[in-house]
């Protein structure tokens, strides 16, 4: 009998890579999709005929119970969330409903309708926030710095609590930033690769960014969904940090991206008035903009993924340079063939 999986957030970046991975392993893959006036299946359209899509919303308890009853899953991956940190300051209540209470609703659906199923919660390095130690491990205390981070701490402990209260096989993956050509355009990596490709093709003049000094441990989403799957194949439920163990500034990501397009940058000015100049022709192509700074910043994230490596045998395959190359090439090709 093929294994059965249910994925919330299947239309998102990670959901699409995870669905591909599970299909490749012979799973029957079910995905929860919420209603919208326009279909939003671009990341899964290439595999849609092999998926079973079920209507449901993190806000609606009964829809989640129905989805679990219909899917009869061996494994449930809760990837759905309001996942953009910046938006969480504008919509803190909605972020709490989706990203915090939504986890309890999915856990309740599993407890009531499929208590033997294995459960994965998409926790986040944003929970470390103002970091108490570097690098961050499974034992590093949390100090979230955004409504999103606060909501993820709730979801993390809800997962731990359902494991301890009801004996659910519930795992929390504390994943550091992971990116891909399927990353949403508002996240900084994709904003940079898309923006730089537009400048190279003459479709835009400049790219406006916020804090260039923030440091992130960036990896490739296709690698990280393998860690999620491995957590649910392990012999007991546990929590794992997943990252590359390397960190870089936003500035480095910008420089690498422009370099991949043959543009060398020189920086002038400071902080809110800084510009990146194309050294070949003196044109300003990057400009800092107050609108993209955050009320409270997470300055530095760096994982220690030792436990994931030793217990799960997981290691990432794509490094930051490979990731930049993959993303900028995909954006350049997409835009140069007229797809906007």
Alpha-helix runs per DSSP H in 167-282:
188-200, 221-233, 250-260
Closest separation in Å from C-beta 337 to ligand NAP: 23
Query: b/e for 97-117, b at 16 or more Cβ within 10 A?
Result: bbbbbbbbbbbbbbbebbeeb
253 is a contact residue toward ligand NAP (CB under 6 A): no
Interface of this chain with ligand NAP, residues 84 to 103, rule: CB under 6 A: 98
Matching residue, tokens 């490709």: 197
Structural tokens at position 23: 């299909």
Cβ atoms within 10 A of the Cβ of 206, count?
16
Closest separation in Å from C-beta 267 to ligand NAP: 26
- Phi/psi region, residue 338 (left: phi>0; alpha: psi -120 to 50; beta: rest), is left
285 is a contact residue toward ligand NAP (CB under 6 A): no
Question: For the residues of 36-73, what is the DSSP string, one character each?
Answer: -SS---TTTTTTGGGEEEEE--TT-HHHHHHHHHHH--
191 is a contact residue toward ligand F7E (CB under 6 A): yes
Q: CB-wise, 41 or 252, nearer to ligand NAP?
A: 41
Interface of this chain with ligand F7E, residues 280 to 299, rule: CB under 6 A: 292, 294, 297-298
Q: CB-wise, 4 or 178, nearer to ligand F7E?
A: 178
186 is a contact residue toward ligand F7E (CB under 6 A): yes
34 is a contact residue toward ligand NAP (CB under 6 A): yes
Which residues in this chain contact ligand NAP in the complex, by CB under 6 A?
A: 8-9, 11-15, 32, 34, 36, 40, 57-59, 79-83, 98, 122, 124, 175, 177-178, 184
Which residues in this chain contact ligand F7E in the complex, by CB under 6 A?
A: 83, 85-86, 124-126, 176-177, 186-189, 191, 209-211, 214, 216, 250, 292, 294, 297-298
């Amino acid at each position: 009998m093929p294994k059965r999986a249910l994925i919330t957030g299947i239309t998102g970046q990670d959901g699409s890579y995870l669905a591909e991975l599970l299909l490749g392993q012979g799973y029957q893959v079910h995905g929860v999709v919420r209603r919208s006036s326009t279909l939003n299946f671009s990341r899964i359209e290439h595999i849609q005929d092999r998926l079973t899509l079920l209507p449901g919303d993190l806000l609606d308890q009964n829809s989640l119970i129905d989805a679990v009853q219909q899917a009869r899953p061996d494994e449930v991956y809760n990837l759905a969330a309001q996942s953009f940190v910046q938006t969480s300051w504008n919509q803190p209540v909605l972020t709490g409903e989706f990203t915090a209470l939504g986890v309890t609703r999915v856990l309740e659906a599993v407890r009531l309708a499929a208590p033997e199923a294995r459960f994965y919660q998409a926790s986040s390095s944003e929970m470390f926030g103002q970091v108490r130690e570097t690098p961050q491990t499974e034992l590093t205390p949390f100090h979230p710095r955004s409504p999103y981070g606060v909501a993820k701490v709730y979801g993390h402990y809800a997962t731990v609590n359902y494991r301890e209260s009801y004996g659910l096989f519930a795992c929390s993956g504390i994943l550091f930033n992971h990116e891909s050509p399927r990353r949403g355009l508002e996240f900084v990596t994709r904003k940079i690769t898309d923006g730089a490709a537009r400048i190279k093709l003459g479709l835009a003049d400049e790219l406006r960014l916020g804090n260039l000094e923030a440091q992130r441990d960036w990896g490739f989403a296709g690698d990280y969904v393998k860690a999620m799957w491995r957590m649910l194949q392990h012999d007991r439920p546990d929590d794992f940090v997943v990252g590359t163990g390397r960190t870089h500034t936003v500035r480095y990501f910008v420089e690498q991206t422009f370099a991949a397009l043959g543009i060398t940058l020189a920086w002038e000015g400071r902080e809110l008035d800084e510009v990146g100049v194309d050294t070949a022709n003196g044109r300003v192509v990057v400009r800092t903009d107050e609108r993209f700074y955050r009320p409270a910043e997470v300055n530095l994230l760096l994982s220690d993924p030792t436990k994931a490596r030793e217990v799960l045998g997981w290691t990432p395959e794509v490094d930051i340079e490979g990731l930049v190359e993959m993303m900028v090439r995909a954006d350049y090709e997409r835009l140069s063939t007229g797809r906007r």
